[in-house]
Amino acid sequence: MATVAITTTGPVSGTAEAATSTRSTPLIPAGDRQVRFTADGTTTYGTVHIPAHRAGQRLPAALLIPGSGLTDRNGDQPPATTPHTLALFASTLGDDGVMSLRFDKYGTGRTGWGRYKNSDHIDMAAYTGQAVAAYNVLRAQPEADRNKLLIVGHSEGGLQALLVGRAVRTKPAGLALIAPQDTRLLDAIDHQLAGTLDRLVAAGELSPTQAQLNKKGVSRAIADFRVERQVDTSGLLPFIASLLNGLFGPHNATFVRSDDAIYPPDIARRVAHGTRTMVTCGTADTHLPCRTTPPLLTALAAARTTGPGLRILPGLDHFLHPAGTPVNDQMIAPAAQSALHDFVRPWQHLTTS
């Protein structure tokens, strides 16, 4: 179980004895607070973004959870991939008066691997425990309204949002699952590789026969890994063999097994009744396409969640960019911004000067 020790740096605003008339209290400008907390013997570092507010006001507060791989608090995997997704989420939410916490997950940024030393033995539960600790840190911030706690997760972070929501004692009022992992991990990878092979055939770079042989080889390799048989990637295209060998090798196998064991709709069925939820899918998302979303949506409906539900984002890719946009363009398309604004509408907190 994660243990949490909170240390904050930077000014702390707001007191329980705030004046009843917010108009008579000073306006505190927007700013960032750097925080650190201990979870499972490792110090995690993060950033709390606090929008402009009046002293004593309590703000809706969102935990931002990054996607798969070595993705840091800003939503980046530097130096190669730096879309700044989570930092842009923080800014967008801040425009609606929603404060947020984003953090460097294990293996990234200032946090690093800590007690885990490397990725060899870390599993999904460890990352969930870290995110639960982060949620509790956000809840303890002096500006946070504990009745208006939200979780916003991108990609694998969408699955983590569901897991954290299940684990915490103070349930979130809302869950925003942005291009979420909505099926078992290796099923998603199987779909992704099949799509890549189809695109190579369409471009004339691969024959249909070669594509079919590789699709069968991928499915066979996944089936073998799941039952702990020796995986044979010989005969597959080099880029596919390299990807699978990396996933199934000693540095990632523990995590991959633990993630692949989770079927997201099973977790979604246990979301607290009345939770406001939103699920987005971009029609140009080749990582997690819209066609895989229905079981997750059905599960959320069975849990009697409320809110915007599904928001289809025409022409947007996995990073919420218009199709064809370089991945490192640090922007979120207007349709995605609009979806976030709609999600937080009940909690929108705008402060005027």
Return the pLDDT at 16: 41
DSSP state letter for 173: S
Cα 74 to Cα 104: distance, rounded to the nearest angstrom: 8
pLDDT in the model for residue 18: 38
Q: What is the pLDDT of residues 1-59, one digit of tens each?
A: 444 444 444 433 443 443 344 457 899 999 999 999 999 999 999 999 999 999 999 99
What local confidence, expressed as pLDDT, does residue 290 receive? 96
Q: How far apart are CA 249 and CA 113, in angstroms?
A: 19
Q: Output the average pLDDT for the chain.
A: 93
Which residues face 46 on adjacent strands? 35, 103
9, containing H or E segment? strand 6-9
Where the chain has pLDDT below 50, the residues are 1-22
**Predicted model pTM:** 0.92
For 320-347, the DSSP string reads: SPBTT--TT-----HHHHHHHHHHTGGG
Residue 2 pLDDT: 44
Chain segment 188-226, per-residue pLDDT in tens: 999 999 999 999 999 999 999 999 999 999 999 999 999
Domains by residue range for the chain, with CATH: 28-184+262-347 (3.40.50.1820), 185-252 (no CATH)
Q: Which amino acid is at 66?
A: P
